[in-house]
Amino acid sequence: MSDCRASAFEHGQLPGALELALVGDSVYDLYVRSHLVRKGGRVKDIHKNAVKHVNAHAQAMALDKIEAELSEEEAGVVRRARNAKQTPTKNADAGDYHKATALESLFGFLYLTGQTERLDRFLALCTDMEG
């Protein structure tokens, strides 16, 4: 089985901001849900708690927590994603939605480039969760 991260850069360039966000959304969701499952509890309660972390408003606030720690390259990924043309969902504030996409794009970038220590650090800071 091949590593999906290795094949992401066959043409020598990163995927677009929204493609990075697609991957980052899954990474973030998996991190949150895995942490909550390890803590234990009823599935219904785990799901409700996960939804509190994995939504546009919570993710926008999470980006605010780490933005000062971003490298130039990471800040560029965030900026491009925040400015990407997209239509917010009907339930989300447009500003929150763009910031959430930027956070997801950052996580997709870190995951696809194999920067797992950096990714783990930011995930823990953003969610106030460890491990």
3-state secondary structure of 45: helix
In the chain, which residue ranges form alpha helices assigned H by DSSP?
Answer: 17-39, 43-53, 56-66, 72-82, 94-112, 116-127
3-state secondary structure of 128: coil
Residue where the block lists tokens 């991260």: 5
Active-site option among 25, 29, 64, 128 = 25
In sequence order, which residues have a C-beta less than 8 Å from that of residue 104 and are 6 or more positions away?
20, 21, 22, 24, 25, 28, 59, 81
Residue where the block lists tokens 């980006």: 63
The answer to whether 32 and 129 have CB atoms below 8 angstroms apart is: yes
The answer to whether 25 is a known catalytic residue is yes
Catalytic residues: 25
